[in-house]
Every structure is written in structure tokens, then in C-alpha cells.
Amino acid sequence: MELVERFLKYVSIDTQSSEENEAQCPSTEKQWDLARYLKNELTELGLEEVELDEYGYVYATLPANTDKDVPVIGFIAHMDTSPDLSGKDVKPRIIRNYDGTDIILNAELDIRTTVEQFPELKHHIGEDLIVTDGTTLLGADDKAGIAEIVSAMEWLKANPQVEHGRIRIAFNPDEEIGNGAHRFNVEKFGCQWAYTMDGGEAGELEYENFNAASAKVTITGHNVHPGYAKGKMKNACMIASEFAQAMPQNERPETTDGYMGFFHLYAMQATVEEAKLTYIIRDHNAGMFQLRKQVLLDTAERFNGQYGTGTVEVELKDQYQNMLTRLQDKPHITEIARKAIEEACGHCHVVPIRGGTDGAQLSFMGLPCPNIFAGGLNFHGRNEFIPIQSMEKAMHTIINICKLTAQQ
């Protein structure tokens, strides 16, 4: 099966994960549909040790074709798509030889991807772009990564003249809700190191990510008939609004980039009686990360002093740490990736991850795991797209890593 055909098959399967069921793994039953499909596909391709475990993780092996003592390495991608937008009934379309103009995704609903809003389009003039119809996300995050890994394994199997060691691959559920690595069996995977194929623009290599936490802020109000509320009502809606405005306004995702951290308010539910604000907190620097968490706690304490003890409660939960601390003493892992990317793309651009990957958690579980581009852009929304040429470069990057590891 060709790379693009494989990718289009994967995106036709709805695998959206759910934060509402995060205690369950996978968090949604529909993720099993892709997991079972992949198990069958990998078996038909002739890979060995193909396994689908009780948590929805798929593992497989491409055996070594050399007698050299080559390190066992792995490639990982996640099966779920973001809860932010539906991944059901995705209707992909290929725009051949993109001309650099605005893309009409859906004329009837007047949904467009404009060059003004998404200037990265200019970097892909002349390429073939896969886009949506504007009513769903595409799912390149991270079904492109899966397609690239499977296609690379198929290529290596069909080209035995290319020497490589034992290659392990794994596909996991629930990355988008931060749980993708929680039940990953590192010992069974049996690799000295691995790479997640979960990055963005072609040529990018990432091995430094945010320290991350989530914060659930609960505000308790007191409802009284509005006609007689003076001096009695405590409106949780209004307090929630004040709380959001009290957080640093120039430290939000829409005002930061590069190594700048942020507070991101991404969900609100409110009545007069109760309001809930859900934040994520991010920073590359460990000290600043701790300070950010304290800022939120101090703001809550200040509001409790103003509106009464117990008005604002904060539940903080650390999610993952910066993988750089687990990779900086193993430069060969990133150097092999750098060379492989340069051979496939003509350049390698090392960038900090403004987010997290399963590799961040896996690195702290004993599996060093940088992140490599998968080629998609504008993840989690209706303007998501992926150039076919970027997918091909990612596939060849995987092949190059396997070759270089055997050579070294």
C-alpha cells in the first residue's frame, strides 16, 4: 500500500480521545478500531511479535537483517486525535501543485485556510497538500506518523540490501489527553532508545519540551434572587472572569513563542453557584515552571482573602517534564536523527517543543525518545493540512535512522 493511501485509510477511522474518560484506557472505545486494523495490517506485512495488549497499545518487530551488534531502536506514534475538534467522517482532499493562494475548504460554509492567517502555506508552494473539508480536523497528528513508520518498515522489508538492526515499533492511544505513555511497556519494548514521529514541519528535530502541569480551578458562589441580592449574592461567574483577568495577560499562548512559557485557560463552565476554569501551565525552565504554579496558587489565595475562605480551590497536577535532562548526556541519539533528517530534507532545524510528546514521558521512564517531524501543520483544528512531500521525507528519515544506526 502506498504511503498516501495508507494515511487516507487511517484518517477515515475516528479515534478521538476523551478527557472525560481518562481513567479508562483507551479513553474511547473507537480507538480500538484503528488498533485492531493496525494489528492485522502489520501481521499481513510480515512483521514479527505483533501484539495488541489489553490497553490498546500495538507493538511489532522488524527483525535485524545483519549479524552486526546493532542497538535495538524504536519508532512510536499515537493513534488518537484531539478532543478539540471532531475526527469523525473526515473528508480529505488533495490539492496538487499548490499555487500559494487561499484555500477554500468548504464553499457552502465559507471555511477557508488563508495565507494571511497561516503564512506557513508559502513554504509549500508547488507541493501536494492534503486538507479537510473544514468540518473536522485531518488527523495528521498523528496518523501521519503511523503511516510513515509502517511504510518505512514495508520499504525496509522489501529492500533487504539495506542493513539494519532489530527495529521495534509501537502505536499508543490517548496521547492527546496526556496519557499516551502511562501504560507503555518500556521493558517489553526492549529498545536502547526510540523516536516519536509526532512533530510538525519537515526537517524539524525536537528534544527539548515544556515542563507541564494542569490546573483545575473551582469557584464556589452563592445564589440569591437577583431582586434581593445586594450584599448577599456571590456570583461565581463574575469571580471566574476576574480570576482569569488577574492571571498574567501577556503570558498566554497567543502572546508567546520560542522558549516563552504560558498560562492557557482552555475551558470554562460557570453558573452563579459554581464555576470551573481549566488551565494548562507550561515552561521550558524548571525554576520558572515552579514559579508559574505558585503564581496561580497565590492568585487563588488572594481571591479567598477577598471573597471568603474556600471560594477558590485549585487542583494542580504535574503532567510531564523537559526531556532534555534525559538526553543531554546521550548525544549520539540526536546526532543520528540530525544526520538522517539532513539526508532526507537537505537541512535539520532543531526547535523547542511548545507542547509535549509521549517521548517526554518515556524519556523519564528509561526510554530516551526525541521527537521527529511527521509533516503536518495546524494540528487540532479544521485548518490542519499536510504536504505529501513532507510525509515522504519523514518516511525516508526513518529509513535513514535505521541505516545510520547499523553503520555506526
What residues are annotated to the active site?
A: 80, 175
DSSP strand E in 349-397: where?
349-350, 371-373, 386-387
Joined together, the cell numbers standing for residue 260 give 516563552
Give the C-alpha separation, 39 to 51, whole Å. 7
Give the C-alpha separation, 364 to 20, whole Å. 26
- Backbone angle region of 355, left / alpha / beta, with phi > 0 → left and psi within -120 to 50 → alpha: left
Give the C-alpha separation, 400 to 408, whole Å. 12
Give the C-alpha separation, 62 to 74, whole Å. 10
Joined together, the cell numbers standing for residue 41 give 495490517
Helix (H) or strand (E) holding 276: strand 274-283
**Collapsed DSSP state (helix, strand, coil) of residue 89:** coil
DSSP conformation class of 332? H
65 φ, ψ to 5°?
A: -120, 25
Single out the residue of 81, 102, 105, 85 nearest to residue 93, CA to CA. 105
Give the C-alpha separation, 199 to 172, whole Å. 16
86 φ, ψ to 5°?
A: -60, 145
What residues have CB less than 8 Å from 149, skipping those under 6 apart?
75, 77, 169, 171, 197, 398
